[in-house]
Structure 1
Amino acid sequence: MNTVYLLIGIILVVLCIIDFIWTTLWVDGGAGPITNRLSSLIWKVMKMLSGGQSTLLSLAGPIVLSATLLMWILSLWAGWTFVFTGLEQGISPSQGTDPISWFDRIYFAGYLIFTLGNGDFSPAEGNAQMVSVFATGTGMLLITFGVTYILSILGAVTMKRSFAASVLGLGQSAEELTKSAWNGEDFHDFDLLLASFSDQLSSLAAQHVAYPVLHYYHSVSTDTAVPTAVTVLDETLSIIKFAIPTLHHPNQMLLQEMRSSVDLYLKALEQSIYQPSEIEPALPNFHFLHDVGIPLRSEKEYTNSFATLETRRRKLLGGLKADGRSWPSL
């Protein structure tokens, strides 16, 4: 029986460490297998319970993060408890000769990984001493990197909402943003903003890959919702690129860089619970653009061009639906 307890403990500790390192330190790895399944389950439950209410769904991110940290702590704690149970006479009371109970082992494993330094119990000489040192080391690793992980995520959440507010402050739809970027002659006033937005979105895409829990941070207000902001921005770029004569375009390199940043973001979404939409969103309101004085190519030309964007636009709509939002339109 001691061997069974020892084996169970080792498996729990190893799985916890792998999932923890996978999630927090492997930048390109996304969430660990356990964290990924736990996060997806919580998100699905929260979407079901929220009934479309953004306020309740906004709790999903903090709950996913808290549940992930709690899962790591409990897995590590349980694992070391089983390990010390499997080590025959691995621990003994500092005073007295009372037999060691399960509660004593749980207590001993707990104050080792939380580095409390209590001396109520002590490891037996030999293997138990080395195991105690390793248990304390894993606890310090969990606490140190756990705090860093939380701070990084909170910083990224703030950056997400700042980016979305900057984009949507110029227009709540692609048509409105296109109108705001038009200076009466061309879109060159949009150049500086494109450079800034591209840099911010590339950073956000990298953060979504490094910290997959960001996918579950839902904004209560549409004004700070990144899926909506990215959709509005990319649809604006599509309008400019395919529906407006090249003579009026912003800087071509900035335009391409911005499109590439959106591609990175869409690729990051593929590691979450996101799925492309089965339907294609409606075309932009080109009549509105014409009425505000923006020159357009022929209807046949821009309609055919937008037909080639079906896959891209279905991905954007899928990201919106995963976040509980609809396609932004006039």
Structure 2
Amino acid sequence: MEVAIVVVGAFIVLLTLYDMFNTTISLGGGGPLSARMNIGIWKRLPWGPGPLRGSAGGILSLCTILMWMALLWLGWTLIFLPVSDAVLRASSGEPADFAARIYFSGFTLFTLGLGDYRPDGALWQILTALCVATGFLSVTMSATYLVPMLSAAAHKRAVASMIDSMGDTPEEIVINGWRDGNLLSLGTRLASLSSPIAGTAASHLSYPILHTFGTAEAGRSMPVQIVKLSEALLLVEHGIAPEARPAALDLLSARRSLTEFFEHAGSGTRMAEEVPPTPDLERLGDAGLPTVALKDFENAMKRQRDMRRHALGMLRESGWSIKDALGR
């Protein structure tokens, strides 16, 4: 029984360290424990871009760190618990009771202890040193994980604001990019956005809960702005006459960065059952832009239905509606 309890404690410690390493320094999408916990909490938050969902990133980050600390504390307590003379009272040499072993494990894990309890024997001294090491490692990794993640969240909002400055709707983005009978200026803007968007997509691999750092402002919400930009790009790729489109390389770069974002930021998103409303091609024609035949454009949109349903699913999971992105 004593061996079984120690083995269980060691397993909990090793599993927690694995989860911590997989979440903080790998691109695996989060550890098995933290990923399941964060998904469960995220899906149970009140729907819509309210204050609670807007602060979900901070809540989940805190819950993740608290889970790691609690599991490490539990694991080390189980390791020191079953052997009667593993931990002794320093003043009298008497074996520590149950509550004292919990206290000893926690104090050793998060500090160097006060010296009122001590391990007895070489084996327990070595295990105490390992307990101290895991405590320092967990605190250090938690801190170094939070700081760049907060920076990535701020960068995500900045990119969203850049997209929002291009126009309030997909049609407006295209119309605003029409200069001197062409869309070259829009192509240049799309090319300049490709790198920041791709960087934000890569950040979702490093920080699996980055998508939970939301905002109550549509203009600074990355899902809203990404969907809006994707719809604008579809208008350019399939609605504008070929001779008036931006350079093919600019369009390809923008489309690939958006595809990466949908793959990384919306990898676990459930596809919406319906397709978003088709962009208003006639509005572009009324503004003087050369467009393809409406039937050809509608056929092209049918070929993009799965991608657009995925985008709508990601938008809804973030608490936003299609009207927030398309203006209708």
- Residue identity matched to 1:24: T
Could you say which residue in structure 1 is the equivalent of 2:270? 275
Q: Whole-Å Cα distance in 1 between the matches of residues 264 and 2 of structure 2? A: 45
- The change in CA–CA distance for 1:250 and 1:182 in structure 2 (over 3 A counts) is same
Deviation at 1:53, TM superposition (A): 4.8
Q: Whole-Å Cα distance in 1 between the matches of residues 2 and 9 of structure 2? A: 11
Q: Whole-Å Cα distance in 2 between the matches of residues 16 and 108 of structure 1? A: 19
Q: Whole-Å Cα distance in 1 between the matches of residues 203 and 228 of structure 2? A: 21
- State the Cα RMSD in Å: 1.5
Question: What's the secondary structure of 2:319's corresponding residue?
Answer: coil
Q: Whole-Å Cα distance in 2 between the matches of residues 89 and 204 of structure 1? A: 53
Residue 94 in 1 paired to residue 93 in 2?
Answer: no
Could you say which residue in structure 1 is the equivalent of 2:44? 45
Q: Whole-Å Cα distance in 2 between the matches of residues 18 and 38 of structure 1? A: 15
Residue 152 in 1 paired to residue 148 in 2?
Answer: yes
Of 280, 285, 292 in structure 1, the residue corresponding to residue 287 of structure 2 is: 292
Alignment of 1:124-143 (within 5 A): 124-143=120-139
- Residue identity matched to 1:22: N
Whether contact under 8 Å (2:87, 2:95) holds in the other structure is no
Deviation at 1:88, TM superposition (A): 4.1
Question: What's the secondary structure of 1:219's corresponding residue?
Answer: coil
Q: Whole-Å Cα distance in 1 between the matches of residues 113 and 85 of structure 2? A: 20
Alignment of 1:1-330 (within 5 A): 1-27=1-27, 29-46=28-45, 50-272=46-268, 274-327=269-322, 328-330=325-327
Spell out, residue by residue over 1:143-165, the C-alpha distance to the aligned partner (whole angstroms, 9 max, x if none). 11110110011001101100101
Question: Which consecutive residues of structure 2, in runs of 5 or more, have no partner in the other structure?
Answer: none
Q: Whole-Å Cα distance in 2 between the matches of residues 119 and 196 of structure 1? A: 59
Deviation at 1:116, TM superposition (A): 3.4
Deviation at 1:7, TM superposition (A): 1.9
Question: What's the secondary structure of 2:38's corresponding residue?
Answer: helix
Whether contact under 8 Å (1:24, 1:211) holds in the other structure is yes
Question: What's the secondary structure of 2:326's corresponding residue?
Answer: coil
Deviation at 1:280, TM superposition (A): 0.6
- Residue identity matched to 2:121: E
Q: Whole-Å Cα distance in 2 between the matches of residues 103 and 109 of structure 1? A: 10
Spell out, residue by residue over 1:173-207, the C-alpha distance to the aligned partner (whole angstroms, 9 max, x if none). 21111111111411111233222211011111111
Q: Whole-Å Cα distance in 1 between the matches of residues 229 and 317 of structure 2? A: 18
Question: Which consecutive residues of structure 1, in runs of 5 or more, have no partner in the other structure?
Answer: none
Q: Whole-Å Cα distance in 1 between the matches of residues 243 and 143 of structure 2? A: 51
Question: What's the secondary structure of 2:209's corresponding residue?
Answer: helix
Whether contact under 8 Å (1:23, 1:30) holds in the other structure is yes
Count of residue correspondences: 325
- The change in CA–CA distance for 1:289 and 1:230 in structure 2 (over 3 A counts) is same
Whether contact under 8 Å (1:2, 1:88) holds in the other structure is no
- The change in CA–CA distance for 1:40 and 1:125 in structure 2 (over 3 A counts) is same
Deviation at 1:97, TM superposition (A): 3.3
- The change in CA–CA distance for 1:97 and 1:117 in structure 2 (over 3 A counts) is closer
Q: Whole-Å Cα distance in 2 between the matches of residues 78 and 25 of structure 1? A: 24
Deviation at 1:137, TM superposition (A): 1.2
Deviation at 1:32, TM superposition (A): 1.1
After TM superposition, the structure 1 stretch with the greater mean CA deviation from structure 2, 142-151 or 121-130, is 121-130
Q: Whole-Å Cα distance in 2 between the matches of residues 244 and 192 of structure 1? A: 17
Question: What's the secondary structure of 1:212's corresponding residue?
Answer: coil
Whether contact under 8 Å (1:23, 1:31) holds in the other structure is yes
Question: What's the secondary structure of 2:257's corresponding residue?
Answer: helix
Question: What's the secondary structure of 2:277's corresponding residue?
Answer: coil
Spell out, residue by residue over 1:26-47, the C-alpha distance to the aligned partner (whole angstroms, 9 max, x if none). 12x101111111111111221x
Spell out, residue by residue over 1:299-325, the C-alpha distance to the aligned partner (whole angstroms, 9 max, x if none). 122111111111111111111011111
Deviation at 1:270, TM superposition (A): 4.4
Whether contact under 8 Å (1:5, 1:86) holds in the other structure is yes
- Residue identity matched to 2:23: T
- The change in CA–CA distance for 1:53 and 1:326 in structure 2 (over 3 A counts) is closer
